Structure 1
Amino acid sequence: MPLRAAFHVLRLILPAALIFSASAAEPAPRPYWHSSMVHKAWTKQEGAPTAVFGITQDPRGMLWFAANDGVYRFDGARFERLTAIDGNKLRSSNTNAILAVGSALWVGYSFGGVSVFDQGQVHHYGVEQGLPVRTIYQVVRSGDGTMWCSTADGLYWLDGDHWRYVEAGDGLAPGNVHYFTALPDGSILADHPNGVYRNTPGSHQFHKVAGGKGIEIHTLLPNGDVLLVNQARQFSRYSALTGASVPLTFPPDVPPRDPFIDARGALWVNNDAGLTLLGPDMRPQQTFAGLNNLSGKQVFNTLDDREGNLWLTTENGVDRIRESRLTAVQLPARMFRSMSVQPDPDGTVWISNHKTDGDYEVVTFGLRPDGGRIATPLSNIAASMLAPDGSLWFGNGQILWHREHGAWRAWPLPANLKGSDVQYMAVDRRGRMWLSMVRNGAYVFRDGEWQAGGGIPALTKLTPVSLHADPQGRVWFGYTSNRLAVLDGDALRQYGAADGLDVGNVAAILTYRGQLLVGGDQGVAVLAGQRFVPLHDADGQPLRGASAMVVSRRGELWLNGIDGLTRVAAADLDAGLASRRLRVDRFDYLDGYKGQPSQVRPLAVLSEAIDGRIWYATSASVGWIDPANIARNPQAPTAQVTTLRTDQRQYDARADLLLPPYSSNLELEFTAAILSIPERVRFRYRLLGQEQAWRDAGARRAAFYTNLGPGHYRFEVLAANEDGVWSTAPATLEFHIAPAFVQTVWFKLLCALLVLALAGGLYWWRMTLVTARIGDRLRERLRERERIARTLHDHFLQSVQALMMQFDLIKHGLPSEHALQERIDAALETADDVLSEGREQVLALRLNHELTGDLEAALSGLGHILAPRHGARFVLTVTGTPKPLRAAAAAEAYAIGREALLNAFRHARSHEVTVELRHARTQFSLTVRDGGRGMAAEVFARGHRPGHFGLTGMRERAQDAGGTLEICSQAGHGTTVTLRLPARRAYARKAADKLARTPS
């Protein structure tokens, strides 16, 4: 079948980073693939595109695929099918070519035309811009920056905003140009029905450089050469530097069908057997079988991403091949399940397999550093050990073997131990070998002699799961169910759960710098004093499932457990043991770890080789990792905010989004292109305007916020790859939530005004009620005063008057010279004074000054009543424009004026008493003045007459009214009493406000 008929078989579209000018420095080549690789396939079921004809990677690391149902975007975890990019629709969902150049994404369509999407903008090219209505096969950017595309009509190049056709006059005859490649010197190498053509760098003139007819495939090699394949499946290597074409020969047992070379210089062959990687020696290194491994049978396109992964597209989906951090070795077909590994001092690694079903044909072999294998007489090995003298020991249920200086020696097990597997072995400082024998407890073996329990009866009762001889000469015995024993000389000490031991079955014991560490299926603990303390990782989780532990010569602690290998760096080990928290690196199935180590036996599942490699064994594989050369991903990921979603709709992540009112519940989706191990990606984010601290999202790619108010917000997100390398800068999205009318400042001010008005209205209503209540009380008081006045007038005063008349009759009935005449006259004068005083009190009670507030009328009435009785003249004057007084102020002023008038008329003996009311803008004043005899000097100095409190009461009333009282008196020159009240305390509110606005 012709290669062209197989859906554009095998194109290598290199990322933009590999398309460089001749003057640019070449990127450092990646090393050749090692023997262990991890493969993953995505099909339609996982959302992957099928039959992809174009693939590219943008500067942010995102993969883009051109398919016949749209453009797909992939971040390593999720495929997104797009019919629009940054809000700009594709001209057609049937796409064929795609290329990322800087921030721009170029898309070619199956029915003609090219679109360029760049930072939210789009530019479409079609017939009007010079392109034909034919399929765009490829879009390529040459080293001089020129954009090229290929069609069934030939080649086109972009001149400004117009595409120019490469015509026959340019050296390229009309015809189908399917594939072409940008060479490192800036030229273009294009296939043509007549051969392979190349232009002069920087020009559009082509000339034929290789081949005859039928060149179907050419792929750019890492050194700039091009692999050419014709219809006859003949392969040649075209040198871009010399222009020479050299045939390429394949091994006879490798059918040379649909080959390609990746960025590492590795040759891959896609044939009926699947996809095969050829090693540097051109021999098959690894095969990925079609359908059973790959997503499909036919590879359409390949891409080497910036992290070193190889991507393939097939008729069914997308595949990724990457190196694993753990390297597994090839094992015999029958070797599986309970495997163990034991390196020796000369670099050989001995690999064993233990079967419990009686099959002893699984032979132990030695793996030399050069990959060669050493045969052994061993089979069905249950335990192995590297002795302190550098020799090796192996054992099973029948024989104990010893290898020293390349020679083997064997001792059959005693009759009573036949069929009892060796569980574990250790050599103490006295040179005694301790063995744990299944169902028979511990034994000591020395010089061919066996001693049960080493002479300690208690050690024969239980079978130790693990053994350890520490540097102090003690031997430790680990048992099931949190039990541990130590033999120190002849003394045996037991440890258990009461001593803090909580690791389950004690499967591993080691000593590090004098500290004893034990591990089991439930965790790892360290002996602190006489108690065991559990160790946890940095997240506080126990280190469960530790089947074996090793401290390497580099000072690192390694554990082999049910979830993979765990490493504690030397720099973190001491601090971690002190804090009981260990910073760990884990190597699990994502790093090529398969199966799990035996939890009971054999336990030689973790060892360090002489070259520093850590060897491990599981139920499915045996492999190694080099701690000095652990592959790391130094590529800092670029986080991206992709979508903002509210309760109402979804928005593309664009700058300065304006969201409608009440967009209080938001979901923000983000991602980062981490393609090697996306399962270990970590994100952290924050929403400025809502919070300042970063939130740890783990691997979650969405953030949720509720009850957001209107305002401006800035969302920031950072990403870390599988090795903890964080983004250099956060991805951001700024958006604004518009306020509803009820959320605006104007509405809040209106509400505040409404509240103030309501409060004012309530205050006015309350004051009205209070005023009415006070008025009611005043009227009640007035009625009571009038009742008292009537009672005094109608009863008391009339009774006094009648009494006086009776005394007067008694007087007239006595002789004129009677001694009682003078006494009766004195009594009548006193009664007359009482009667006068009573009438004044009745008058005061009947005045309605408190209710009416008419101070002038009240004082005038009082003065004109008192004046005739005391033979004096009364004058009242008003200065200024009279203004209504506050009821309380008028009452207090009247009381003070009344007291002053009474004192003037009664005691001053003045011929005239005057009252002056002065209504000024800033104050009100009341002055009572007489021209009488004045106050006695001692009374004026004291401020009151002994036993009388009229002056004191006047001063207290003035203070309560918020004013001042001034009394001036001089003997023989009369007395002046002046009350002054501030306008705000004297006048009613409206009058006071009016006065405040009146300029002085």
Structure 2
Amino acid sequence: MRAILLWALCGFLALSAQPQTANLGHQSWSTENGLPQSSVHQIFQSFDGYIWLATEGGAARFDGLNFKIFNQETDPTVFTSNDICCFAQNAPDSLWIGTASGLLQYGPQGLRRYTTADGLPSSTIYALAATDDASLLVLTREGLSQLDLRTNRFSLLNLPHPSTLTQGTDGNVWITSPSGLSQYQHGRFIPVPVSPALPPEPIESLAVQPDHTLWLRTHTTLIQQRDGRQHLWTAGRELPGTRIEAFLPDSRNTLWIGTNKGLVALDAANPQSLPQPIPALNASSVLSLFEDRERNLWVGTESTGLHILRRQNFHSLPDLADLAVNTIVQTTDGALYAGTNGDGLYRYQFGKLKHISTHDGLASDIILSLTPGPDGTLWIGTPDGLNHLADSHIKTYTSADGLPDDLIRSLLLGADGSLWIGTRRGLAHLQNGHFTVLTTSNGLRSDLIGALLQSANQDLWIATLDGLSRLHNGAITTYTTADGLSGNIITALLEDVGGALWIGTKGNGLTQHTAKGFTSLQRPDLPQEINSILEDGVGYLWIGSNRGITRVAPSELNVCGSSPQCALHINSYGLADGMPTEETSANGHPAAWQTTNNLLWFATRKGVAIVDPGHLQQNKLPPPVILERVLIDDTPLDLSPSTKIIAPGHNHYAFEFAGLSYSAPSLVRYRYLLEGFDKEWSQPSTRRSATYTNLPPGRYRFHVQAANNDGVWNETGAAIRFYVRPPFYRTLWFVLSALAIIAALAFLFYRLRVRRLRSQFDAVLAERNRMAREIHDTLAQSFVGVSVQLEIVSQLLTHSQLPAANQQLDRTRDYVREGLAEARRSIWDIRAITAQNTLPTRLTQIVEQSRSENLPTQLNIGGTYRPLSSTVESEVLRIAQESLTNAQRHAQATHITLDLRYHSNRLTLTITDDGRGFNPSDTTLPAQGHFGLQGMRERATQINATLTIKSAPETGTTITLDVPIPATKGMPTHG
């Protein structure tokens, strides 16, 4: 008996020491998915997070969804061979690629090639390693060379016949040679003692773990050396196949060994553990192994391309994988029951599965609802009636027994042991063997009953297609969107440990009910079509939907509510996490169950999805964010850090980005903000591009962030600054110039306006002066003449000289007629020059009119007559008239002489009297009412003439008017 127990204990310990490889998700890529070639020789993760693959068809850069190829087809000037062996990196902006025809450097400026012409010992490269002293070690066919990155010069190192070059996870570089094992440190090779000694077979690769465990691989043997002890695994014996191609001790202390007949795993800490084959790789020949920063395992094969193995949070039951499961419950005896959509009922306990169908007495193989009864019994709802399973016996109830309908949509065992049954025609209650039915006539808004839940205070919550009803103390109250529900089609109910009621709807998201009432939590980052809600034992809600399962903390929901600006830490689970399908069941109640050992079971369209909330694989690494391309009207933009200046006239701006998380690339979510345009971050989504159109001129900064599948955000993200230049007509210099031009035009307009007004004012003033002169020289002079004649008439009448008086009256009448004629000419400006009213003629008339016996007046006219403009002649005539009047009234002259003479280019008028004279410079004359001289000067100025007045007291007066005569075509210039 002791021997049996001992063997059982040993077997248990052996099993417990095995690596946990059962729950590994698998995904693969081949040439059909974009891989350039199916032989993957090395897998490498660069500083920025990309996965690089060395193949015989070139180098490939992978972001989790898409490959970018670098080979002879993409860059024939640099790639002379597509056979890639290896990668290395010692700076974020420089990746080294080893090929069969030289060394390539990939950086922001593109690719650069180094060959033997640059000092490389051989163009055939076997391995690369970046050192801690700014250099690169290159293992070639002709030996080990060092490239000094500061001088870009190669130097051959003095290490005879190196066979392997390995860079450890800690950055140390290890080299094997026939002389032993060495470590490169700061330009020196330090021998490392190995005990036991190195095997006689050539070492093809090695690894050193942090605990100084040394792993060595030969063609057929894997050797572990630790603490002076050695353990061997040999191909063909402990390991499958005939040769070992690759190995990797990962961060979980699992040793992965790739052979030419597949991949196996064993516990690296326990050399006695048995290797476990990985069925996903079958018998593929494994060439390379790599663990990324998220602890995913990458496998490169010889003929089946690239593979990834991910630790998954969900697993399923293989026997139910092809079945559509509607409902799940666990009975009091610990058995789990899964009701299917046409395949009957399955009972799972102690790792065994039992099938129950219509052959065993079920009313139908379509199971719509389940609820556990006491003592391991089970109530089963089908479209054809209600079943009760107890001790392998099945009893059926139908409408003939009092049910309102045979289609049973939901079941609930009440706290008092009675059974509530939801149907299409109301809610039935089975108590003490009798059925009672509640319908719309009792207060329900719909007879189509869905999920049922009894709260801690014994209230019964009833989900319907038209709202949520509550049965309290025999009375039914129904709530709808008018009361705060997010939707009226209720699909799932849960009461959490705090007493809050969580309500799932179809198409309208989540609602919470507390003592304060209903709170709609309809958010774009939460499922809208909810099929089930569970609460785990660590304070999270799990929501099943047709797009996977979502995990969220109720405390965060209470804080954020439905505000999109408040970011929730949401975990989304799907195919990459081990779910058989992302579509959970929406046909049965309950569609999810929490077992007694705190596992969560979800019914899906392809079996069940099972998760242990207390032992989740959490991805706490924020994903690196890369801005892959920026397209301006489909033209790529340089992505260097400097601010980009974009010419005006562009309409379409596209930004393409990637969050480099490989645990679940399809679940990486992004949010972005264009500073200078957007007012808030975009709603998180899985879309990997953003587009803007018709951006106005200005300075912008596009900023994108990403979150991994567990909702961990990289808030640093990636960003690019750019400046959209305005068109010339919107630039500052143009606006200032336009304003200056407008101001100048306004000023010019103002000046022209002022000049026009001034011209008008001058014209009005000139006209007023002209009218004053006309009145003075016509009416006033005429009135003076009339007054003189009337005085003579008066004197003649006094002396009774009637004939002479009559003669003077006739002359007075002539003066009046002439004055009126002059007034009319002045008003209407009728100055037509005719032979009868030329200047000599009109001047003669004026002289004759002013001549008297007391003051003889003589007129002399000389030269060849030349017609002048009517304005000039009128002004000359008025000046002569004013001079005669002044001589008659003020000079007391006894003789006046007028001389009018035409010259070749001027006209002169000279008026001389022998009167008492005056002082021409006397400025007080206008103030005394004498405006004659001032008017004469103004008239002379109007016709550009020169007026000269020579006079002195008691010497008489001579007035000379010199008027220029403009030359006229066809007229003589002398006479």
TM-score range, shorter chain: 0.5 to 0.7
Counterparts of 1:359-378 in structure 2, within 5 Å, are 363-366=346-349
Q: Offset of 1:470 from its aligned partner?
A: 2.8
Quickly say closer, same or farther: Cα 1:201–1:100, change in 2 above 3 A: closer
SS of 2:584 mapped into structure 1: coil
| Structure 2 residue 26 is matched with structure 1 residue 43 | no
Give the corresponding residue for 2:297: 310
Query: In structure 1, how many angstroms separate the alpha carbons of the residues matched to 2:927 and 2:790?
Result: 39
Cα contact 1:267–1:277 (8 A) shared by 2: yes
Counterparts of 1:663-674 in structure 2, within 5 Å, are 664=650, 667-674=654-661
| Structure 2 residue 631 is matched with structure 1 residue 654 | no
The Cα offsets for residues 34-81 of structure 1, whole Å up to 9 and x where unpaired, read as: 643333333334433323333322222122233444433333333222
Query: In structure 2, how many angstroms separate the alpha carbons of the residues matched to 1:391 and 1:682?
Result: 45
Query: In structure 2, how many angstroms separate the alpha carbons of the residues matched to 1:433 and 1:39?
Result: 47
Q: Offset of 1:136 from its aligned partner?
A: 0.9
User: Aligned partner of 2:549: which letter?
Assistant: L
Residue from 416, 436, 452 that aligns with 1:453: 436
The Cα offsets for residues 424-450 of structure 1, whole Å up to 9 and x where unpaired, read as: 332435x0422427678654445xx42
Higher relative CO (Cα under 8 Å, sequence separation at least 6) belongs to 1
| Structure 2 residue 248 is matched with structure 1 residue 261 | yes
Cα contact 1:797–1:838 (8 A) shared by 2: no
Query: In structure 1, how many angstroms separate the alpha carbons of the residues matched to 2:235 and 2:660?
Result: 37
SS of 1:395 mapped into structure 2: strand
| Structure 2 residue 225 is matched with structure 1 residue 238 | yes
Q: Offset of 1:304 from its aligned partner?
A: 1.2
Give the corresponding residue for 1:436: 421
SS of 1:572 mapped into structure 2: helix
SS of 2:534 mapped into structure 1: strand
Quickly say closer, same or farther: Cα 1:661–1:866, change in 2 above 3 A: farther
Give the corresponding residue for 2:955: none
Q: Offset of 1:139 from its aligned partner?
A: 0.5
Give the corresponding residue for 2:129: 140
Give the corresponding residue for 1:902: none
Query: In structure 2, how many angstroms separate the alpha carbons of the residues matched to 1:91 and 1:308?
Result: 32
- Identity, in percent, stands at 19
Counterparts of 1:227-626 in structure 2, within 5 Å, are 227-231=215-219, 233-239=220-226, 242=227, 244-248=229-233, 255=240, 258=244, 260-263=247-250, 264-268=252-256, 275=263, 282=274, 284=276, 287-289=279-281, 297-314=284-301, 315-324=303-312, 326-332=313-319, 336-338=323-325, 340-342=327-329, 350-355=335-340, 357=342, 363-366=346-349, 383-385=369-371, 393-395=378-380, 399-401=387-389, 412-414=395-397, 416=400, 423-429=409-415, 431-436=416-421, 442-445=427-430, 449-453=432-436, 464-479=449-464, 481-482=465-466, 485-492=469-476, 503=487, 506-511=490-495, 517-524=502-509, 526=511, 535-539=520-524, 543-552=527-536, 554=538, 556-575=540-559, 583=568, 585-595=571-581, 596-601=583-588, 603-610=589-596, 612-626=598-612
User: Aligned partner of 1:538: which letter?
Assistant: R
SS of 1:332 mapped into structure 2: helix
Task: Provide TM-score, normalisation by structure 2.
Answer: 0.66
Cα contact 1:669–1:701 (8 A) shared by 2: yes
| Structure 2 residue 81 is matched with structure 1 residue 81 | no
The Cα offsets for residues 545-572 of structure 1, whole Å up to 9 and x where unpaired, read as: 3222234555543322222223341213
Query: In structure 1, how many angstroms separate the alpha carbons of the residues matched to 2:337 and 2:599?
Result: 18
- Bigger radius of gyration, 1 or 2? 2
Query: In structure 1, how many angstroms separate the alpha carbons of the residues matched to 2:878 and 2:499?
Result: 110
SS of 1:679 mapped into structure 2: helix
Quickly say closer, same or farther: Cα 1:410–1:863, change in 2 above 3 A: farther
Q: Offset of 1:364 from its aligned partner?
A: 0.6
Give the corresponding residue for 1:98: 87
Query: In structure 1, how many angstroms separate the alpha carbons of the residues matched to 2:256 and 2:23?
Result: 16
User: Aligned partner of 2:548: which letter?
Assistant: G
Cα contact 1:686–1:717 (8 A) shared by 2: yes
Query: In structure 2, how many angstroms separate the alpha carbons of the residues matched to 1:457 and 1:648?
Result: 61
Quickly say closer, same or farther: Cα 1:120–1:133, change in 2 above 3 A: same
Give the corresponding residue for 1:635: 621
For structure 1, the residue ranges without an aligned partner over 5 or more in a row are 1-30, 291-295, 403-407, 819-824, 874-910, 917-926, 935-949, 951-1000
Quickly say closer, same or farther: Cα 1:729–1:463, change in 2 above 3 A: closer
SS of 1:598 mapped into structure 2: coil
Bigger CA drift: 526-535 or 692-701?
Answer: 526-535
The Cα offsets for residues 642-668 of structure 1, whole Å up to 9 and x where unpaired, read as: 445445954542344776855745555
SS of 2:558 mapped into structure 1: helix
Give the corresponding residue for 1:822: none
Query: In structure 1, how many angstroms separate the alpha carbons of the residues matched to 2:96 and 2:126?
Result: 10
Task: Provide TM-score, normalisation by structure 1.
Answer: 0.64
Query: In structure 1, how many angstroms separate the alpha carbons of the residues matched to 2:920 and 2:611?
Result: 119
Bigger CA drift: 661-670 or 65-74?
Answer: 661-670
Quickly say closer, same or farther: Cα 1:592–1:485, change in 2 above 3 A: same
The Cα offsets for residues 316-349 of structure 1, whole Å up to 9 and x where unpaired, read as: 543333223x32143435773225443578xx86
Quickly say closer, same or farther: Cα 1:36–1:421, change in 2 above 3 A: farther
Cα contact 1:86–1:652 (8 A) shared by 2: no
SS of 1:288 mapped into structure 2: helix
Residue from 211, 214, 219 that aligns with 2:199: 211
Query: In structure 2, how many angstroms separate the alpha carbons of the residues matched to 1:859 and 1:343?
Result: 133
| Structure 2 residue 55 is matched with structure 1 residue 63 | no
User: Aligned partner of 1:204: which letter?
Assistant: F
Quickly say closer, same or farther: Cα 1:641–1:931, change in 2 above 3 A: closer
Cα contact 1:637–1:674 (8 A) shared by 2: yes
SS of 2:26 mapped into structure 1: strand
Query: In structure 1, how many angstroms separate the alpha carbons of the residues matched to 2:108 and 2:674?
Result: 23
Quickly say closer, same or farther: Cα 1:761–1:832, change in 2 above 3 A: closer
User: Aligned partner of 2:128: which letter?
Assistant: V
Q: Offset of 1:509 from its aligned partner?
A: 3.0
The Cα offsets for residues 507-534 of structure 1, whole Å up to 9 and x where unpaired, read as: 3234466665543433356587999968
SS of 2:317 mapped into structure 1: coil
Cα contact 2:205–2:218 (8 A) shared by 1: yes
Query: In structure 2, how many angstroms separate the alpha carbons of the residues matched to 1:692 and 1:78?
Result: 32
Give the corresponding residue for 2:174: 188
Bigger CA drift: 625-634 or 743-752?
Answer: 743-752
The Cα offsets for residues 655-701 of structure 1, whole Å up to 9 and x where unpaired, read as: 44776855745555444433333334455556678789766785554
Query: In structure 1, how many angstroms separate the alpha carbons of the residues matched to 2:797 and 2:315?
Result: 154
Query: In structure 1, how many angstroms separate the alpha carbons of the residues matched to 2:407 and 2:674?
Result: 63
Query: In structure 1, how many angstroms separate the alpha carbons of the residues matched to 2:284 and 2:549?
Result: 35
Quickly say closer, same or farther: Cα 1:205–1:672, change in 2 above 3 A: same
Quickly say closer, same or farther: Cα 1:432–1:113, change in 2 above 3 A: same
RMSD of equivalent CA atoms: 6.3
Q: Offset of 1:497 from its aligned partner?
A: 8.1
Query: In structure 1, how many angstroms separate the alpha carbons of the residues matched to 2:507 and 2:674?
Result: 40
Q: Offset of 1:115 from its aligned partner?
A: 3.7
Query: In structure 2, how many angstroms separate the alpha carbons of the residues matched to 1:164 and 1:213?
Result: 29
For structure 2, the residue ranges without an aligned partner over 5 or more in a row are 1-17, 803-807, 832-869, 893-916, 932-975
| Structure 2 residue 120 is matched with structure 1 residue 131 | yes
Q: Offset of 1:809 from its aligned partner?
A: 5.5
User: Aligned partner of 2:523: which letter?
Assistant: A
Bigger CA drift: 129-138 or 654-663?
Answer: 654-663
| Structure 2 residue 213 is matched with structure 1 residue 225 | yes
User: Aligned partner of 1:476: which letter?
Assistant: W
Cα contact 2:625–2:658 (8 A) shared by 1: yes
The Cα offsets for residues 913-965 of structure 1, whole Å up to 9 and x where unpaired, read as: 9878xxxxxxxxxx75679799xxxxxxxxxxxxxxx9xxxxxxxxxxxxxxx
Cα contact 1:523–1:545 (8 A) shared by 2: yes
